Structures are given as C-alpha cells and as structure tokens.
C-alpha cells in the first residue's frame, strides 16, 4: 500500500527546481542539468501512475523508457551545439550570448584569449 | 502511513535536496556530481514504486552516460574549478527564477494532490511484463526511437564537424555552405 501524494509532491518539487535551474544559470551546460530535472519529474509521474493503476499495456514503464531515450538523444545534440558554440566564441556564457554576433569566428577566438 | 511511504519519503527527500544543490551550487563540477546523487535517488524512488527495470535503466543511462557526457562537456569548455559567481545570473534574476520555480511547484501540487486519493495497492511490475509490452504493443514507437537516436548521433557529429571545417576554411562567413 502506498500513498500517491509522495510521488506527486516529488514530481512537483523536481519540476520547480528544474525550472529554477534553467532560468537562473548562465553556463549553458548547467542549464541542461535543469532540463534533466524537469524530465525526471515527468518520469516520476509516469512511474507512479504505472505502479498503482491497472496498466495492461505497461504504459507507465514503457513511456518512461522512451522519455529516458529521448533525453539521452537531446543531451547528445545539445552538448554538440554547446561545444560548437564554445569553439566559435570561446565561452558558453548565456548572459553574453548574442553580444558578439556577426563577428567572424577567428576574431571572436582571438578576443577571447 | 505505510512502510513504503516512509521509505519513499526518505529517498525523495535526498532527491529533492540534492536537486536543490545541483541547481544552486557555485561549483560547476559539483553541480554535475549533485545531479548524480539526485538521479540515483530518483532511481531509488522507482525501486520503491516497484519499477525495477526502469530503475536500472535510469542508473545505466542517466548516471552512467548522461552525467558523464555533462562532465565531459564541462571539461571541454574549460569550466573553472572552485567557487565561481559567473555560473549564475544576477541576484534579481535568481529571485525572479526562484519565484517562477516555486510557482511551477505550487501549480503542480495544487493540480496533483487533490487527485492523489487514498493509499493503494502496489502490485509491482515484472521485467517480463514490461518486455512483452515493449516488444508487442509498443514495438513501432520503439523502432522509431532507435531511428531518433541514430539521427541525433549523426546530427551531433555533423554539428561538430561543420564548425571545424568552417573554422579551417578561408572564408569564415561561409559557415554551413562549405562543400
């Protein structure tokens, strides 16, 4: 026997923390950590519903596996973009993003050194 | 209040506290390490909820692969070691972000807690049942997902290669239009 209020509260807290992480971080890699927390909140909800419901298709478990896979794909592409941005601009600071637009890559790299 | 509730509460407390540290710490590398604790204790939550296979996948994929990727990216972008004020936005921004995060939590709690209902039976799911459904009912989404993984792999490779050849090329304005 388990109360569903606990999993629901954990999902709500994780989603709120992830939102804070996405909004309050300047380092692009740390923003991704916030995104991971939001995705985990969704996973906790799916698992808790699958754990108690009459789930003949195992939708809670299977959809959680799908979300984990999609999160892995998302992190893969996002980190490639972050590395490309770092190579071109010399930093991954989102507060300064857009300030050096239009500058050729070589100049940006030189000015960053 | 059953035993499962108590165990879930303890593990969820660890998950929430380490998640809070992951988004607020000033050490860049510590944020990734707190994420390991958070995702690991979320895997513990899955175990308490009876989803053992998903808990193992969470440990393998998230803690094993995603966090390592994040640490790798931090290393490659020359993240500073030690406390650093530059990783977070200004105080006003952070207060606004905290208000928005608290609003998200309050909204979800207000929606979800009334439909939580009384304590229910937790039958637990066997890996056999998950596998039967995964390769029966859900086989086509599963195949499409494998295609998505392949596409994202190729896309990540293409993004990093495109920039490198644009850097090596004579005309830096011709990014994306190289032969």
* ipTM confidence: 0.89
Whether the CB of A27 is below 8 Å from some CB of chain B: the reply is yes
Residue A79 belongs to domain spanning: 5-112
- Ranges under pLDDT 70 in chain A: 54, 99-113
CA atoms of A92 and B53, how far apart (whole Å): 36
User: In 3-state terms, what secondary structure has residue A103?
Assistant: coil
What total of structural domains would you count in chain A?
Answer: 1
Of A1, A15, A68, which has the smallest distance from its Cβ to B119's Cβ?
A: A1
* Residue B169, pLDDT score: 64
CA atoms of A108 and A98, how far apart (whole Å): 12
* Residue A100, pLDDT score: 57
| Residue B30 near residue B14, CB atoms below 8 Å | no
User: Per the structure block, which two tokens stand in for B129?
Assistant: 């049942």
* Residue A110, pLDDT score: 46
Q: A44-61: string of b/e by CB count within 10 Å (b at 16+)? A: bbbbbbbbbeebeebbbb
- Nearest residue of A to residue B72, measured between CA atoms: A79
CB pair distance less than 8 Å for A11 and B77:
no
Of B31, B45, B73, which has the smallest distance from its Cβ to A79's Cβ?
A: B73
Label residue B171 exposed, middle or buried (CB < 10 Å: 0-12, 13-18, 19+): exposed
Residue A94: CATH number of its domain = 1.10.287.3510
- Which residues in chain B have Cβ-Cβ distances shorter than 8 Å to A93? 86
Residues with Cβ within 8 Å of residue A48, at least 6 apart in sequence: A4, A7, A8, A11, A60, B49
* Residue B9, pLDDT score: 95
Distances (CA, A) of B51 to A71, A113, B73: 19, 50, 31
| Residue A83 near residue A36, CB atoms below 8 Å | no
Blockwise average pLDDT, block size 10, chain B, 179 residues:
92 97 93 95 95 94 92 88 84 95 97 90 86 94 96 93 71 46
Q: Tell me the whole-structure pTM to 2 decimals.
A: 0.88
* Residue A71, pLDDT score: 94
* Residue A79, pLDDT score: 92
Whether the CB of A112 is below 8 Å from some CB of chain B: the reply is no
CA atoms of A6 and A73, how far apart (whole Å): 30
Q: Work out the angle at residue B133's Cα, subtended by the Cα atoms of residues B131 and B135, and round it to the nearest 5 degrees.
A: 65
CB pair distance less than 8 Å for A40 and B42:
yes
CA atoms of B122 and A48, how far apart (whole Å): 10
Of B58, B87, B156, which has the smallest distance from its Cβ to A26's Cβ?
A: B87
In 10 A of CB B172, how many CB atoms?
16
| Residue A15 near residue B105, CB atoms below 8 Å | yes
């Amino acid at each position: 026997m388990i109360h569903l209020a606990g999993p629901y509260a954990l999902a709500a807290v994780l989603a709120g923390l992830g939102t804070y992480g996405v909004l309050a971080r300047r380092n692009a890699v740390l923003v991704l950590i916030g995104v991971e927390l939001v995705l985990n909140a969704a996973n906790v909800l799916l698992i808790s519903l699958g754990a108690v419901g009459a789930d003949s298709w195992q939708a809670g478990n299977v959809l959680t596996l799908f979300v984990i896979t999609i999160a892995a794909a998302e992190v893969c592409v996002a980190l490639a973009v972050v590395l490309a941005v770092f190579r071109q601009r010399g930093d991954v600071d989102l507060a300064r993003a857009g300030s050096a637009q239009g500058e050729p890559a070589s100049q940006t790299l030189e000015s960053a050194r | 209040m059953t035993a499962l509730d108590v165990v879930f509460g303890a593990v969820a407390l660890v998950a929430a506290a380490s998640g809070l540290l992951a988004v607020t710490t000033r050490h860049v590398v510590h944020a990734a390490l707190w994420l390991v604790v958070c995702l690991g204790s979320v895997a513990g939550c899955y175990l308490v909820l009876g989803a053992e296979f998903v808990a193992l996948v969470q440990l393998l994929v998230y803690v094993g692969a995603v966090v390592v990727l994040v640490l790798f990216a931090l290393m490659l972008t020359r993240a500073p070691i030690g406390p650093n004020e530059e990783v977070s936005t200004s105080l006003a921004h952070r207060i606004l972000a905290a208000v928005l995060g608290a609003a998200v939590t309050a909204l979800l709690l207000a929606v979800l807690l009334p439909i939580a209902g009384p304590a229910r039976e937790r039958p637990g799911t066997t890996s056999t049942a998950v596998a039967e459904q995964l390769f029966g009912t859900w086989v086509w989404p599963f195949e499409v997902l494998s295609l998505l993984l392949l596409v994202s792999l190729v896309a990540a490779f293409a993004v990093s290669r495109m920039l490198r050849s644009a850097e090596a090329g004579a005309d830096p304005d011709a990014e994306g239009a190289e032969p």
